[in-house]
């Protein structure tokens, strides 16, 4: 899922200072799963924001609405009746949702309430960790189902750097597994260590952001 984290409340207060009535909108999809921008977070944030702005001497009225998915037009449309009642929108959706709302309602300023950070998996309750970087050239078939692009701090493609700690963690973060250590362990367990001897050529990054903003066109699905 797409992972996001709440922005510091002071940053939100700064953004919204001078507004009188805002629409605080959540998304019930990924950001709800990672507890950053679902209905619960929307309803918790609203009174906090009101209070924080009051301390600063501003009185703010907050309308709230959480839609199923802010990244799909039909759900974004559900905000249409509330938009005219507000003078700004604070969206707790990922960057895609924020932009969808801003695109659909160009007449009103839309602010992000979260920072979108990664494509991640919930490893344990309360712990999410990156699994994919949307590089556009998936190598998982050759790396025993473990992604060296997203999970190696240097996105190395031919094995671990010299920075694997004794306990198999990454030198960059003692809490993060060296993914190449995991890949080697899995390869060894399957008796296929030698498959990692093949030299992977420089990657073609052009099917991701590096090729310019990505567009995917499917003629078979066009109207």
Partner 1 sequence: MKLRSGSRLERVLAAGHFAVTVEVGPPQGPNPEVIRRKAEWLRGVADAYNVTDNQTAVVRLSSIAGAKLLLEAGLEPVMQTTCRDRNRIALQSDLLGASALGIKNCLCLSGDHQKASASGKLKGHPGAKNVYDVDSIQLLAILQGMRDQAVQASGDPLEQPAPFFIGAAWTPLATPESFRTLRLAKKIEAGADFIQTQAVFDVARFAAAVKKAREMGLCDRVAILAGIVVPRSARMLRYLNERVPGVEVPEELIRRMEAATQPAAEGKKIAKELIEAVRVIPGVRGVHLQAIENEAVLPEIIQSADLLPRPELNAEPARAASIRNR
User: Which residues of the chain form contacts with partner 1 (CB under 8 A)?
Assistant: 153-168, 171-173, 178, 180-181, 184-185, 188, 193-194, 196-197, 199-203, 205
135: nearest Cα among 121, 118, 123, 122? 118
Single out the residue of 160, 158, 161, 162 nearest to residue 198, CA to CA: 158
| Smallest separation, CB 187 to partner 1 (Å) | 8
Nearest approach in angstroms of CB 209 to partner 1 is 12
Q: Which is nearer to partner 1, 74 or 194 (CB)?
A: 194
Q: Toward partner 1, which CB reaches closer, 119 or 156?
A: 156
Alpha helices in 56-145 (DSSP H): 73-76, 95-104
What single-letter DSSP state applies at residue 221?
A: G
Task: Please give the backbone phi and psi of residue 144, each rounded to the nearest 5 degrees, phi first.
Answer: 55, 35
Residue with Cβ nearer partner 1 (82 or 187): 187
Cα 15 → chain centroid: 21
Minimum separation from the CB atom of position 26 to partner 1 (A): 29
Of 13 and 132, nearer to partner 1 (C-beta) is 132
φ/ψ of 70, rounded to 5, equals -75, -5
Q: How far is the CB of 68 from partner 1 (least distance, A)?
A: 34
Estimate to the nearest angstrom the gap between the alpha carbon of 78 and the chain centroid: 23
Of 90 and 184, nearer to partner 1 (C-beta) is 184
CB of 212 to partner 1, least distance (A): 15
């Amino acid at each position: 899922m797409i992972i996001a984290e709440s922005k510091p409340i002071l940053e939100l207060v700064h953004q919204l200072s001078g507004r009188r009535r805002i629409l605080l909108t959540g998304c019930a999809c990924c950001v709800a799963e990672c507890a950053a921008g679902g209905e619960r977070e929307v309803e918790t944030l609203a009174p906090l924001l009101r209070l924080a702005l009051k301390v600063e001497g501003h009185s703010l009225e907050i309308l709230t609405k959480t839609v199923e998915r802010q990244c799909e037009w039909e759900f974004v449309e559900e905000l249409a009746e509330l938009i005219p009642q507000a003078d700004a929108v604070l969206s707790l959706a990922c960057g895609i949702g924020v932009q969808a709302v801003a695109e659909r309602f160009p007449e009103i300023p839309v602010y992000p309430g979260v920072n979108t950070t990664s494509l991640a998996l919930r490893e344990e309750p309360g712990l999410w960790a990156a699994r994919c970087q949307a590089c556009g050239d998936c190598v998982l078939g050759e790396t025993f189902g473990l992604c060296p692009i997203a999970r190696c701090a240097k996105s190395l493609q031919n094995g671990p750097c010299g920075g694997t700690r004794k306990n198999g963690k990454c030198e960059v973060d003692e809490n993060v597994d060296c993914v190449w250590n995991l890949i080697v362990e899995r390869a060894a367990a399957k008796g296929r260590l030698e498959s990692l001897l093949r030299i992977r050529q420089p990657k073609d990054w052009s099917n991701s952001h590096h090729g310019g903003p990505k567009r995917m066109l499917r003629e078979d699905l066009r109207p």
